Each structure stands twice: as structure tokens, then as C-alpha cells.
Structure 1
Amino acid sequence: MTKPRHRADLFLDPAVDPRENGAPVGDERATLVEFLRYQRLTLRIKCEGLDAEQLARRAVEPSTMSLLGLVRHLADVERVWFRRRFAGQDVPTRYQTADEPDGDFDGAVADQAVADEAFAAWREEIAFAERFAADTELDFVGHDGSVRSLRELLVHMIEEYARHNGHADLLRERIDGRIGE
């Protein structure tokens, strides 16, 4: 007879958690950047060790939400906010279009090339956002006509990731039972 797994055994081992030992005390910028880094790492952790089929597995019908869809969605969110709205770059979204407004989730199919491209795009957008945030004053207001500072954008991105990481918790638990983090 197999020993039942206990819920407490399904959490990430703290000894290998890359989010630990961040900047516990810092100025405003360091605090915002660290909280956003933590949320980004949480999504990465939720996706680690899964193959393309698992990453593309949908929540429950009629939802099209999947971990891969979340990665694609957040790549577009990073791109729109940091490149377009704040840096003023004239770049298209990666996955969402007028013809495919849900392309981020609808295009998240069980294909390793699709998964690899999504993670590469997400890392690229994060790298741009990190450079932009490091080189820009917190009071900087974006180029999109709204009155939102970089400070407010960083808080918004923390909220965006935190909300979607809640979705990722449920998606990952449905795939292989892993919870927490």
C-alpha cells in the first residue's frame, strides 16, 4: 500500500527556493523591485518541471486559462506597460491582436516550440522592464497620456502578478498536486 501524500509535503523545499534572501529592508525602489522580482519568480516556479502538454492544460471549461497562457499574457502585459506606455516604443503586442484579442490564451497550445518561444519572450520583456525601471525615476510618467508614475506601474505589476499567481497555484495543483509558494 502506498503511503498517502500529505498536503504539507507538496510545497517547494525552502532550501531551493530562489526567492529567499532578497532585500528585506531597502528604500522604496529596492522594495518595489524586490516584490516584483518575487512575483515573477513565483510564476516561473509554478511552471518549472512541466512539459508543453502540462503547461498548456486548461483550467476547466469554458476557461482557456493555462500556465502557458499566463506566461504569454504576462509577456504582453510587460511589453505593453514598459515598452509601449512608458518607453514610448511603437511595438505590437506579441500575442493579442484585433483579430485575436485572446491570442495569449487561445494560442497557448501543447507544442514545445510554442512553450519555448513564450518563455523566451517573457524573459525578454522582463529584462527590458528591469533595465527601464533601473534607469528611470520613480516619478516618471509614461508616454501613454495617463497620469501614472513608474512607482504606480511597479505596484500595478506586483498586483497583476499576484493575482495571476493565485490562478497559477490552482492550475499547478490540478496538474500534479503541487501547492503553495
Structure 2
Amino acid sequence: MSELNKRADMFLDARNDPRADGPRLGDERTTLMGFLRDQRLTLEIKCEGLDAEQLARRSVEPSTMSLLGLVRHMAEVERAWFRLRLSGLDLPRLFCTSEEPDAEFDGAVADPTVVEEAWRLWREEVAFTDDFVARAASLDATFEVDRHGTMSLREVLVHMVEEYARHNGHADLLRERIDGRVGQ
């Protein structure tokens, strides 16, 4: 077997891929939410089948990045944008504080309870985001966002797709380092 075939064998079998690659035809909200859904699924796929130790495994020193840290980070990102900034809810951050600004990564330790909590919180924030977007009258709705000025819901959704896509690139490398699995 050639090196190319060995690498190709590490991809997710297309028959088991839950992603739809976004809607082919649809309005703007459906399209953006479809691409966001697929990016979220990609993060889940990168983490599937791994135990707490593997999920918490750091990339390379001095980085504290891990797959578990990325799950916690994305829960924090979803919360920051949709609960705190756009909804204006007065809630604490999930992991980060002014004393521990990198807590989502630093606290990503090899403990099944920490893993369970990370996925639970991420799913709660994803559900809140999805509900918020579904209830919004228009993607043209604007919000005053600290450090960013006036932003439309459309712009925030594009940013979320970009945020997941960037971190899914990290997740791809982290997963390959753990067990050789690469992927789309």
C-alpha cells in the first residue's frame, strides 16, 4: 500500500459523514445556519471516539491547545456572542475570568467529568444560538457590540462560521497527532 493510500484510509467514510455541506438552494439564513451546523459537526467529528486523555492532550509546547480546549472555547465563543453581546444577558462567562483569561484551555484536563461538562455546555450554547437566530426578525438586525461597534446578525453568523473553520483546522492537526486520523 502506498503512503497516499494509507493517508486516504484515515479519512471519515463518506457514508458516515453527517454533514450536508450546506444547503444547495435556500435563503440566506438557511444557508448561513447550514454552514454553521456543518462546522459544528466537524468539531464533533474531530473529537469522536477519543477518551478524556486524548481530548485533553496538548498540541506542542508551549501551546495549551487541545481538542477539549477547543470544545470549551467554542462554548465560550457561542455564549459570548449570542447570550452576552447580542441578547445582553448579564451572565458570567463559562470558563474565563479576568484572573484566568485562558481558562477554557488551561482547565481542559483529562477528566471524564470535565469532558462531559464541556460537551453539555457547548450543546446548551449551540441550542441558544440556534433559537436566537430562528427568532430574529431579520439578518439585518443590528447590535451594539463592545469593541466592534454596530454589527448585523448576518455579520456575526459569518464570523461564527469563520471562527469554527479556523479552529477546525487546529482540530484537524490535533486529531492527526493523536491517532493519525485526518479529514475533511
What corresponds to 1:177 in structure 2?
180
Q: Distance in 2 between matches of 1:144 and 1:88?
A: 10
Q: Please state if 1:8 is matched with 2:11.
A: no
Q: Distance in 2 between matches of 1:18 and 1:122?
A: 18
Structure 1 or 2: more strand by fraction = 2
Q: Please state if 1:110 is matched with 2:110.
A: yes
What corresponds to 2:160 in structure 1?
157
Aligned with residue 168 of structure 1, among 163, 167, 171: 171
Paired letter, 1:167: H
What corresponds to 1:37 in structure 2?
37
Q: Distance in 2 between matches of 1:177 and 1:144?
A: 40
Q: Distance in 2 between matches of 1:55 and 1:64?
A: 12
What corresponds to 2:125 in structure 1?
125
Change (3 A) 1:22 1:158: closer
Q: CA RMSD in A?
A: 1.6
> Counterparts of 1:75-90 in structure 2 under 5 Å?
75-90=75-90
Paired letter, 2:174: L
Q: TM-score, normalised by structure 2?
A: 0.94
Q: Distance in 2 between matches of 1:98 and 1:118?
A: 20
Q: Distance in 2 between matches of 1:131 and 1:174?
A: 36
Paired letter, 2:173: L
Unpaired stretches in structure 1, ≥5 consecutive residues: none
Unpaired stretches in structure 2, ≥5 consecutive residues: none
CA contact (8 A) 1:87 1:143 kept: no
Paired letter, 2:131: R
Change (3 A) 1:40 1:85: same
Give the total of aligned pairs.
Answer: 180
Change (3 A) 1:9 1:61: same
> Counterparts of 1:40-119 in structure 2 under 5 Å?
40-119=40-119
CA apart distance, 1:142 = 2.2
Deviations 1:47-68 (A, max 9, x none): 0000000000000000000000
Q: Distance in 1 between matches of 2:114 and 2:143?
A: 31
Deviations 1:86-123 (A, max 9, x none): 01111111011011100000000000000000000000
Q: Distance in 2 between matches of 1:61 and 1:102?
A: 15
Paired letter, 1:144: V
CA contact (8 A) 2:21 2:35 kept: no
CA contact (8 A) 1:88 1:144 kept: no
Q: TM-score, normalised by structure 1?
A: 0.95
CA contact (8 A) 2:140 2:154 kept: yes
